[in-house]
Structure 1
Amino acid sequence: MPKSALLGDDSLDYSGSGEQAEKDLECILDAYQADDELLEQIQEKSLTWEETLHNSFGYQWAWSGRDVSSLRLRVFPGDSETYSEPPKLPLESAGEACGVEDSVTDGGLTLSLDGEGGDDRTVENRFKAPKYKVDPEEYQCLFTLLETPSSVTTMMSRTRALDGMQRESAGPYDYAWTYHPDNGLDVLIKQGVD
Structure 2
Amino acid sequence: MSDQTNEEMHAKETPSEGLPVKANEQIQRSTAKNLAARLPRKYWLPAITGVAGIALGLLMGVGISAGPAENQRHDDALAETASVGAAEDAERLTKQILPRAANDCQADTAFAVVSDDHLSLTIDHKGKEDYSGGLSTREMMCIFDKLGVPSAVASHMQQTTSMDGRQTEAWDNIEVSWSYHPDRGMDSVVEIVG
Q: Does 1:91 align with 2:98?
A: yes
Unaligned runs of 5+ in 2: 1-76
The verdict on how the C-alpha distance between 1:96 and 1:90 changes in structure 2, with shifts beyond 3 A counting, is same
The verdict on how the C-alpha distance between 1:31 and 1:115 changes in structure 2, with shifts beyond 3 A counting, is same
The residue aligned with 1:186 is 187
How big is each residue's C-alpha offset from its partner over 1:57-78, in whole Å with a ceiling of 9 and x where there is no partner? xx9x69xxxxxxx8328xxxxx
The verdict on how the C-alpha distance between 1:30 and 1:132 changes in structure 2, with shifts beyond 3 A counting, is farther
Size of the alignment, in residue pairs?
A: 114
The verdict on how the C-alpha distance between 1:143 and 1:33 changes in structure 2, with shifts beyond 3 A counting, is closer
Mapped to 2, the partners of 1:71 and 1:101 lie a distance apart of: 25
How big is each residue's C-alpha offset from its partner over 1:91-138, in whole Å with a ceiling of 9 and x where there is no partner? 111111112362211111111111111212xxxx4xxxxx44111111
Q: Is the 8 A contact 1:114 1:134 kept in 2?
A: yes
Structure of larger gyration radius: 2
RMSD: 3.0
The residue aligned with 2:176 is 175
Q: Does 1:146 align with 2:139?
A: no
Mapped to 1, the partners of 2:192 and 2:150 lie a distance apart of: 15
Mapped to 1, the partners of 2:92 and 2:139 lie a distance apart of: 26
Q: Does 1:118 align with 2:128?
A: yes
TM-score norm. by structure 2 comes to: 0.51
Q: Is the 8 A contact 1:91 1:104 kept in 2?
A: yes
Unaligned runs of 5+ in 1: 1-28, 43-58, 63-69, 74-86, 126-130
Q: Is the 8 A contact 1:92 1:101 kept in 2?
A: no
Q: Does 1:100 align with 2:107?
A: yes
Mapped to 1, the partners of 2:91 and 2:108 lie a distance apart of: 20
What SS does the aligned partner of 1:153 have?
helix
Aligned-residue offset at 1:30: 3.5
The one-letter code of the counterpart of 1:107 is D
